[in-house]
Amino acid sequence: MFSLTGKTALVTGGSSGIGLAVVRRFVAAGASVIVADLATTPALEQTGAAFSALDVTDEKRVAETFEAVEAKSGKLDILVNNAGIALQEGPLDETDIGVLQRTLEVNLLGVLFGLKHGPRHMKDGGSIINTASLAAHAVMPEYTAYSVSKAGVLKLTQQAALELSSRAIRVNAVCPGTTTTPMEPDDSAESRLCRYLTAAGRPGQPEEQAAVFHFLASDDSSYVNAQAINVDGGWVYGLNARHMEKLLA
Ligand code: NAI
């Protein structure tokens, strides 16, 4: 069940955090994995995955990376467009256009370039997984650029799923809630809010995200397509009982 034996996967942003947990999980399930990221890390080097230096905002390099991967490892079965950034933002009326542009470049164009150039180097019947975010659904003050970029990832996911249906390539998105990684450390405001804003009462761990990526990558999810799967401990559905009791006391 959920075997990835014999499958080849490319994971962007796989050197750290959620991407790294996905790489570990894919390797453990039998996949051959290539990570495309700005830089490698000692943790990645221990996984057995191959590494290719890539900035996902550089369209020419994205295309070249897919070509090189196919030449070396054959066509891909799985593509995970996961690389992303979360920059410090402010109120909407103080929007820093540089922050907005950089966020859209990495989080939105980075995924678009993966969807534009990746599929021609994939086998028919493959699986693409895009990392969106809880922020694509839930509104958080002062996260305009990030939220807009991730809402765009959901639309790209639906668009690609329908366009690639003739090749039976499925395209889904995972929407992580607050998950403890270098991007979202344990003491961040969002991590602390998880005590109240999730049914789980805590932030998620990268491994809890990776389990869902694993399912979506495997043939066991063959009828799951064009979906955005929330892995957020219940955040989008409101305050948990503990906090509700406090507010009403
Ligand atoms: P992270 O900072 O641990 O990992 C992000 C990875 O992306 C890093 O290895 C980084 O080098 C790579 N990266 C950044 N810019 C890149 C570029 N231009 N080209 C290639 N690689 C690049 O962060 P984390 O938390 O693992 O985030 C992974 C994904 O999950 C991101 O898309 C993020 O937006 C999303 N996410 C994370 C949440 C969290 O609470 N940690 C919540 C919701 C979504």
Which residue of the set 143, 146, 196, 237 is catalytic?
A: 146
Contact 245, 237 (CB under 8 A): no
Q: Is 53 in the pocket of ligand 1 (CB under 6 A)?
A: no
pLDDT above 70 as % of the chain: 100
Q: Is 57 in the pocket of ligand 1 (CB under 6 A)?
A: yes
Tens digit of each residue's pLDDT (9 = 90 or more) over 80-97: 999 999 999 999 999 999
Which one is the CATH code of 8-185+203-237: 1.10.3720.10, 3.40.50.720, 3.40.50.20, 3.30.300.180? 3.40.50.720
Match 């028919």 to its residue by tokens. Answer: 124
Asked if 146 is an active-site residue, the reply is yes
CA distance 137 to 61: 31
Full-model pTM: 0.97
Q: Which of 101-105, 117-121, 136-140, 230-234 has the lowest mean pLDDT?
A: 136-140
Match 């607050």 to its residue by tokens. Answer: 178
**Nearest residue (CA) to ligand 1, atom 24:** 17
Name the H helices within 38-92.
Answer: 42-45, 59-73
Contact 231, 204 (CB under 8 A): yes
Tens digit of each residue's pLDDT (9 = 90 or more) over 197-234: 899 999 999 999 999 999 999 999 999 999 999 999 99
CA distance 116 to 119: 7
